[in-house]
Amino acid sequence: VLGGKARKYRISERTEDRVLSEAKRIGFTPNQIASSLRLRKTNTIGLVIPDISNIFFATVARCIETEARKRGYFIMLCDSQENPRIEEESIRLLRNRNIDGLIISPVGMIGKSLQAMRDSGFPVVLLDRYFPGLDIPYVTSENHQGAYEATKRLCALGHRRIACIRGLPDSSSSRDRVRGYRDALVEQGIEIDRSLIVGDDFSERCGYLETKLLLQKRKRPTAIFSLGNLTSFGAMRAIKEGGLSVPEDVSLVSFDDHYYSEFLRTPLTAVSQQVDEFGLFAVKLLYDQLDGDAKAVEDGISLPTKFVERASIRDLNSGG
Amino acid sequence: VLGGKARKYRISERTEDRVLSEAKRIGFTPNQIASSLRLRKTNTIGLVIPDISNIFFATVARCIETEARKRGYFIMLCDSQENPRIEEESIRLLRNRNIDGLIISPVGMIGKSLQAMRDSGFPVVLLDRYFPGLDIPYVTSENHQGAYEATKRLCALGHRRIACIRGLPDSSSSRDRVRGYRDALVEQGIEIDRSLIVGDDFSERCGYLETKLLLQKRKRPTAIFSLGNLTSFGAMRAIKEGGLSVPEDVSLVSFDDHYYSEFLRTPLTAVSQQVDEFGLFAVKLLYDQLDGDAKAVEDGISLPTKFVERASIRDLNSGG
DNA sequence: TTGTATGCGTTATCAG
DNA sequence: CTGATAACGCATACAA
C-alpha cells in the first residue's frame, strides 16, 4: 500500500485507508537506504566538477540540480578542484555508493576508465569536456567555432600579435578553443607564435601570471584572448597592476560570458555560452541512459556560442 | 579484515594478506549502501541552499564540500530556489535518505521544525541565516555591524536620503542588515523613510525593479545600499538603463564583496564577508554534533565583516 | 485480497 | 583466531 501499488495487488480501499492513516499518524517515512539496497537503485546522480565556485559551473550545477530533481534524482556533489587525484577518488567513492549515473567535467586522462564504466552499462555524461575517439555522450559548446569567430574579429580590427591564455591544456574545451584561434590566424596569414599561447589551468592566478609575463615581452601582444572567465579576471588584474588600460594598451576577449561583463570598467567582449542548456542536456542525456539502453544514446551535443562585442577591443585600423 | 579490523579480531597476518590480495584480484568494493543500512550512518551531509549559482553560496559550497570530504563525508546538494515549498520537500527527502546531518541556509519559517529535528538529536547547522530565540548552531556575518558601518560612512559623506534594497525580509541576514542601516541613520539624527526600504528577495530582478522605482521618485535617494550581490547588479542595470552614473548621480554600496568588484565600471564599495570561513565553521559546527552530544554545541558564530571603500560612493560635502 | 518468507550486502555477536 | 547467524528496512514472490 505504501508503495502506491494498492491497486496492483487489489487491496480493499478500506484497508488502504487504514494503512495510510495509521502511517500518517505515527509519521511513517520509508527508509530510502533500505529501498536502495533492495532495488539496487539510489536515485542519485554523481556530479563531479573542477570548481563549483566558478560561476560557469555553479550555473550549470544549478540547472542540473533543478532538472534532476524534476525527475526524482538527487545530486551528490564533488568538487575535484581541478585535481586528477581527487577526481579519481571521487568517482571511486561515488560508485561504491551505487550512484545511478555520473555527470562529470573531467580533469584527468580518465577517458578509458569512463568508457569502461559506460561499456559495463553504467550511465555517464561528460560536461564541457569530451574525449575524442571515445563514445561517451557529452554536452559542450562549439568551442572551435566560438574561438575562431572571436579571433577573426580581432584580426579584422588589425590585431596581429594576439596572445591566447588557455586553460587546462589537456581539456577538449581548451584544445578546441586553441584550435579555433590558430585556424583563424592561419586563415589571415598570420604566423603562429607559440610563445603567445600560454597557461596551464583555468584559475585566476594563471590568468594573472601569464598576463604579467605577456605584458613584459619586448613585443607586447596587442590583444589577449583569455579562454576562461577566471583567467580573464586574472588578466585584468595584471593589466591594472601594470598601469595599463583595456582597450587602449591591450584588447581583451574572454571565452565565457556572464552577467557582470557589461558592468566592468571596460565592458568585456566575450564568447557567450548557452550555460543553462548545458545542464538541461546533461540531465537529458543521462536520463536517456538511465531509462533504457545505456549504449543506444547519441554521442554528444555541441551548443552554439555567441560573440558579444563590447568595448574591450580596440580597432587598430582607425585609431592608428 | 576488509573493515580494517583484522587486529581487533586477531586475524593471522597470513589470512589477512590472502583476503586482501584476493579482494584486489577480483576488484571487490564494499557496498556503502548496505553498510549504511546496517550502521545507520550514510556519511552524507545534506546541503540546502537558496541559489547555488549565486557566487556567495557557490563559494561557501565549495568550502563545505572540501572540508566535508576531508572528514569523509559526501554532500547531497539541494537548491531550494528561494522557495519554501521546495525547501521543505528537500529536507523531507533528505531525511528519508538518512543523511547524517544538515547544513541549510533557510528560506521559509522552518525554525521550529529544524529545532525539533535538532532536539531529537539530529545535527543541524544554519548558514548565513539564523532563528533568533532558537538554539540551532549557525554561522553568519556580523550583519548589523557591517550594515551599520557602511551606512554611517554614507552619512559621513553627507548622504541623507539613503535607500536600502533588502533581500528576503524574513531572513535574519536581511533583518539584521536593515537594523544596522536604521540604527546608523537614527544615530545621525536622520528620520527613517520607510518608502526607502524596499525589496522582497535577493534576486537580480528585485534589485533592478526596486532601483527603477527608487530612481523615479520626486525626491530621488542620493545613495543606495543593496544588501545582496545580485541585487547590486540589478541596481547597476537600472541605473545604467536610466542613463545615470555611479557615483555622480547616485552612490552605491553593496553587502557582499567579490573578486569582480574592483573591476567594475565604477569600482564597487562593499561590505566584505569572510566567505571561506563560512564553510569551514559550518562543517566544524556540524561535525561537533556528529561527533558527540548533538546538543552540547555552541549556539553560533558571527564573523566580522570588512568595509571596502571604492569609487562607487560620492562625497556630497566636498562636491557641493 | 491478505499474510508470510526470502534476500539485497554489511556488520555484530556468539559459540566454537 | 574462525565460522555461522541474525538484523538493518524494504520489495517481491508465493501461499493461504
pLDDT of residue A18: 84
Nucleotide D8, nearest residue via CA and C1': B38
The answer to whether residue A320 scores a pLDDT higher than 60 is: no
Q: Does A75 touch chain B (CB under 8 A)?
A: yes
A129's grid cell = 569536456
- C-alpha A294: how far from its chain's center? 22
Contact yes or no for A192/A186 (Cβ under 8 A): yes
Task: Report if CB B8 to strand C is under 7 Å.
Answer: no
Mean pLDDT of A120-143: 96
Task: Report if CB B186 to strand C is under 7 Å.
Answer: no
pLDDT of residue A27: 85
Residue in A29, A69, A79 nearest the CB of B62: A79
Mean pLDDT of A169-173: 95
At A313, the pLDDT band (50, 70, 90 cuts) reads very high
- C-alpha A280: how far from its chain's center? 12
Task: Report if CB A263 to strand C is under 7 Å.
Answer: no
Of B186, B225, B195, residue with least CA distance to B213: B195
Angle at A51 between CA A44 and CA A182, to 5 degrees: 120
pLDDT beneath 50, residues of chain B: none
Contact yes or no for B30/A30 (Cβ under 8 A): no
What whole-number distance in Å separates Cα of residue A36 and Cα of residue A8? 21
**A24 vs A12, higher pLDDT:** A24
Q: What DSSP string describes B85-103? A: HHHHHHHHHHHHTT-SEEE
pLDDT of residue B142: 98
pLDDT of residue A2: 75
Nucleotide C7, nearest residue via CA and C1': A38
Contact yes or no for A311/A247 (Cβ under 8 A): yes
CA dihedral B147, B151, B153, B154 (to 10 degrees): 140
Contact yes or no for A136/A112 (Cβ under 8 A): no
Q: Burial, A21: exposed, middle or buried (Cβ in 10 Å; 0-12, 13-18, 19+)? A: exposed
Task: Report if CB B318 to strand C is under 7 Å.
Answer: no
Could B96 and A31 be called an inter-chain contact, meaning their C-beta atoms sit closer than 8 Å?
A: yes
Size of interface A-B (CB pairs under 8 A): 129
A25's grid cell = 499518524
pLDDT of residue B70: 96
Q: Does B120 touch chain A (CB under 8 A)?
A: no
Of B111, B129, B161, B145, residue with least CA distance to B271: B145
Q: pTM for the whole thing?
A: 0.95
For the stretch B240-292, pLDDT in tens is 999 999 999 999 999 999 999 999 999 999 999 999 999 999 999 999 999 87
For the stretch A1-21, pLDDT in tens is 777 777 777 777 888 888 888
Residue in B29, B65, B81 nearest the CB of A96: B29
What whole-number distance in Å separates Cα of residue B83 and Cα of residue B70? 31
Contact yes or no for A310/A268 (Cβ under 8 A): yes
The A residues from 191 to 210 touching B (CB cutoff 8 Å) are: 204
Could B33 and A30 be called an inter-chain contact, meaning their C-beta atoms sit closer than 8 Å?
A: no
